[in-house]
């Protein structure tokens, strides 16, 4: 016997009920983001490896450990995208979008790839909805995006979610702060975990994230970046907060919020579900005012977020909406042509209509109609009958038009 084939580790097949729930979330995103002026946009699923190395940051886990990288036939190094922001910035530069009216607001959704250890809510191929606003540092964009993500989570049935918010200031403030933090960690080197000690030079912020009790104790006394922001950045953060306050959105200012990507400046945020375990982040993002320039474009501020569809679904209790269904049955085999036309007319009227396509007896067809939860069955033979599947009442219709009217009545 040939060995059984399975989907690769960390990937998942999205089966029909789930696929429908996922599409519903995408549709909610499309509606919410569309109303706020965000345009759908797509970039390739793979890019030059260098884009992510430069964009996401050499010291991040994503770049160091998690990228699916391969060589193409010409020896070019390519990577399956681990996130969307770097590619959107690349496209902004490549297509001269700085010449358009600013800000340029874009959103996208699709598969992303990270070679992480799979666990509940963590996959190697996962799906993000991503929204970005480039070309303005107006704090209302930060607040608008945060509110849009809050609404998406709410409408997807994945609430309540805890919103953590912070500001990272500029890279310069951050560099000075990181020095102070390194000194603090060095002063307590014997109490922190080996991993933190080893990455102390590269990424001391990671220490805020540690599970290690000794490290956690050291971090409670560590200096906080929020206390050291430049006046401009502090004012920007105050503006973002004031807009969220005015909108009535609750959040926690959390100066220990660490995002796994290097490009952030100023605002950072993350929504965590109270219903999920270790992988609780439903979505997160922030401002990246230097990224476009670092990728070779003109100085262009930007802000955005990404949300994981799989995690939203895990946290959500929303059932897929039941669409009214109609079954078209054949009372005798030679009614096929008329039944086929009937099904097409129903569909043209916007009704979900399925026709018998498996050679069942009429009794078998009615059973099938019941199984799929049809509200009505149109039985086409010498006559056309419409059966109310709830009451079992069946009535002959005077032609196709009357049958259609009766179906409409039943669907309500
Ligand atoms: P991120 O926090 O790395 O941000 O990912 C955003 C969301 O994607 C996470 O909160 C989570 O829901 C989902 N996600 C990430 N990795 C996995 C995984 N392995 N399995 C399942 N879900 C996952 C970004 O990607 C940034 N590009 C967001 C951003 C946009 N910042 C500014 N603009």
Please list the rounded mean pLDDT of every run of 10 residues in the chain (412 residues).
Answer: 91 93 96 98 98 93 96 98 98 98 98 96 97 98 98 96 96 92 94 90 83 92 94 98 98 90 96 90 98 97 98 89 91 95 96 96 97 97 97 96 96 92
Q: Where do we find the tokens 């006559």?
A: 383
Nearest-CA residue for ligand 1 atom 17 is 122
Whole-number Å distance, alpha carbon 3 to ligand 1 midpoint, is 35
pLDDT of residue 152: 98
Q: Which residues contact 103 (CB under 8 A, 6 or more apart)?
A: 133, 134, 135, 136, 138, 141
Is the Cα dihedral 81, 163, 134, 225 positive or negative?
negative
Cα–Cα distance for residue pair 189/155, rounded to 1 Å: 46
pLDDT of residue 209: 80
Cα–Cα distance for residue pair 396/266, rounded to 1 Å: 69
Query: Probe ligand 1: pick from 126, 129, 131, 301, max atoms within 8 Å of CB?
Result: 126
Nearest-CA residue for ligand 1 atom 11 is 308
CB 284 within 8 A of CB 305: yes
CB 312 within 8 A of CB 282: yes
Measure CA 284 to chain center. 10
Q: Ligand 1 pocket: which residues have CB below 6 Å?
A: 83-85, 114, 116, 122-123, 126, 128, 130, 132, 260-261, 281-286, 288, 304-308, 310-311
DSSP state of 399: S
What's the half-sphere exposure (Cβ side, CA atoms, 13 Å) at 224? 11
Collapse the DSSP code of 174 into the 3-class scheme (helix H, G, I; strand E, B; otherwise coil) and give the result: helix
Nearest-CA residue for ligand 1 atom 9 is 283
Backbone angles phi, psi at 67, to 5 degrees: -85, 140
Whole-number Å distance, alpha carbon 335 to ligand 1 midpoint, is 53
Structure tokens at 170: 């500029």
Strand partners, 40: 107
SS (H, E, C) 99-132: HCCCCEEEEEEEEEECCCCCECCECCEEEEEEEE
pLDDT of residue 258: 80
Measure CA 332 to chain center. 48
């Amino acid at each position: 016997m040939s060995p059984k084939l399975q989907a690769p580790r960390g990937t998942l097949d999205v089966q029909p009920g789930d696929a429908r729930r996922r599409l519903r979330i995408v549709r909610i995103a499309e509606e919410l983001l569309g109303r706020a002026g965000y345009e759908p946009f797509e970039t390739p699923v793979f890019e030059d490896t260098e884009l992510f190395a430069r964009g996401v940051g050499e010291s991040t886990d994503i770049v160091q450990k998690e990228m699916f990288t391969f060589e193409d036939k010409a020896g070019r190094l390519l990577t399956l995208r681990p996130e969307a922001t770097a590619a959107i910035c690349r496209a902004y530069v490549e297509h001269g979008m700085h010449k358009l009216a600013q800000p340029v607001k874009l959103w996208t959704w699709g598969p992303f790839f990270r070679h992480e250890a799979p666990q509940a809510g963590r996959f190697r191929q996962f799906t993000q909805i991503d929204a970005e606003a480039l070309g303005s540092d107006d704090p209302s964009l930060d607040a608008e995006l945060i509110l849009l993500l809050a609404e998406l989570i709410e409408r997807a049935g994945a609430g309540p979610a805890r919103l953590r918010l912070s500001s990272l200031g500029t890279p310069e403030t951050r560099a000075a702060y990181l020095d102070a933090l390194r000194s603090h960690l060095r002063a307590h080197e014997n109490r922190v975990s080996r991993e933190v000690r080893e990455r102390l030079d590269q990424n001391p912020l990671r220490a805020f994230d540690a599970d290690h009790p000794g490290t956690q104790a050291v971090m409670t006394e560590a200096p906080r970046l929020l206390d050291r922001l430049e006046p401009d950045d502090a004012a920007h953060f105050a503006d973002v907060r004031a807009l969220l306050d005015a909108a009535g959105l609750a959040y926690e200012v959390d100066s220990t919020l660490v995002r796994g990507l290097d490009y952030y400046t100023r605002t950072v945020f993350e929504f965590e579900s109270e219903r999920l375990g270790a992988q609780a982040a439903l979505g997160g993002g922030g401002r990246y005012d230097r990224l476009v320039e670092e990728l070779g474009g003109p100085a262009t501020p930007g802000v955005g977020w990404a949300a994981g569809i799989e995690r939203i679904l895990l946290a959500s209790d929303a059932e897929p909406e039941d669409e009214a269904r109609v079954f078209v049955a054949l009372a005798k085999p030679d009614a096929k042509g008329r039944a086929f036309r009937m099904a097409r007319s129903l569909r043209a009227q916007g009704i979900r209509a399925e026709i018998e396509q498996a050679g069942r007896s009429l009794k078998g067809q009615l059973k099938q109609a019941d199984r799929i939860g049809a509200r009505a069955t149109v039985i086409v033979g010498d006559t056309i009958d419409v059966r109310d599947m709830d009451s079992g009442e069946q009535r002959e219709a005077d032609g196709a038009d009357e049958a259609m009217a009766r179906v409409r009545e039943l669907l309500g």
